[in-house]
Amino acid sequence: MEWIEDVRRQLIIRQYSANTQKAYLGALQLLGRHFTERDPRHLQPLDIEHYLLYLAEQKNYSFSGLNLMVNAIKFLFEKVWNLPKTTYYLPRPRKTHTLPKVLDEEDIKKIFAQVKNPKHRLILYVAYSSGLRVSEVVNIRLTDIHRKSMQIRIEQSKGRKDRMVVLSKKVLSLMEDYYRRYRPKEYLFEGQYGGPYSIRSAQMIFKRFKQMANVNIKGGIHLLRHSFATHLLEQGADIRLVQQQLGHNSVKTTQLYTHVTEKRNQHLRSPLDNLEE
């Protein structure tokens, strides 16, 4: 599959993220191995449709997996081989909309109570207090911390956008002790040999302490981001401000959390019921 190198080169030239490069290359290698007797350049739209159907029915691909494959194939055909868009049809599967899973405040307290290591504690605090993706947490540089404005700069995250997010007073207080103990040089959280802390390590930290706290909601460290958004909306925060904090392109994405708050609010008691007569 000599064309794989062409794909790799175009991904680098167009400055796609490392994660996207890895995902597209992996998907297209699978495509190449499936059609071993044919050059993918000569595949017809019906061939692609049958391949997607095979992935869905025989390999149990999720919507996101199928969508990734579609995007990778479109990149190969349109960006690498410069084929016109009108020459093929790639049906996109219908996405099933599920509400984000969210931790209650009490569950978050239980998880945080298990964490004794200052570095591990700060990683989880930053993820929740600013609503960050794990990749954003580990890539925060010391120069991204703005104490005067109480903000953190998130640089070139998903969609290659910069944004400013809230810096918690409690997090800032923890940082002072953390700096003295660990003396980071460039990144807020650094690995054993320098450079940013690994995403995998941050994920494992959350998984371990969630288990120790006996919190049984399925999901990884991204639960903290979901919880941040939901808790802000429950407090009455403007949805546009929450959208900006999360870095969503469309407010429609952020509106998913309003459905979560509506579901959770079904269990609220009226304040009148709490009054003693």
Q: What is the mean pLDDT of each run of 10 residues along the chain (277 residues)?
A: 90 89 95 89 85 88 86 92 67 64 93 96 96 95 95 81 91 93 95 91 97 94 94 89 89 82 60 53
Topology agreement, domain 3-87 and domain 105-265: no
Catalytic, out of 120, 133, 226, 231: 133
Question: Would you call 225 a catalytic residue per the annotation?
Answer: yes
Question: Would you call 9 a catalytic residue per the annotation?
Answer: no
Catalytic, out of 158, 163, 208, 264: 158
Question: Would you call 50 a catalytic residue per the annotation?
Answer: no
Cβ–Cβ under 8 Å, residues 48 and 23: no
Catalytic, out of 8, 119, 222, 264: 222
Question: Would you call 97 a catalytic residue per the annotation?
Answer: no
pTM for this model (two decimals): 0.71
Fold of 3-87: DNA polymerase; domain 1 (1.10.150)
Catalytic, out of 74, 119, 208, 248: 248
Instruction: Give pLDDT, residue 60.
Output: 86
Question: Would you call 34 a catalytic residue per the annotation?
Answer: no
Q: Torsions phi, psi of 234, nearest 5?
A: -65, -25
135 burial type by CB count under 10 A (0-12 exposed, 13-18 middle, 19+ buried): middle
The domain 105-265 is placed in CATH, from the list 3.40.50.2300, 3.60.15.30, 1.10.443.10, 3.60.20.30, at 1.10.443.10
Instruction: Give pLDDT, residue 277.
Output: 47
Catalytic, out of 120, 225, 226, 231: 225
Question: Would you call 231 a catalytic residue per the annotation?
Answer: no
Instruction: Give pLDDT, residue 95.
Output: 59
Instruction: Give pLDDT, residue 97.
Output: 65
Instruction: Give pLDDT, residue 107.
Output: 94
- Enumerate the domain spans of the chain: 3-87, 105-265
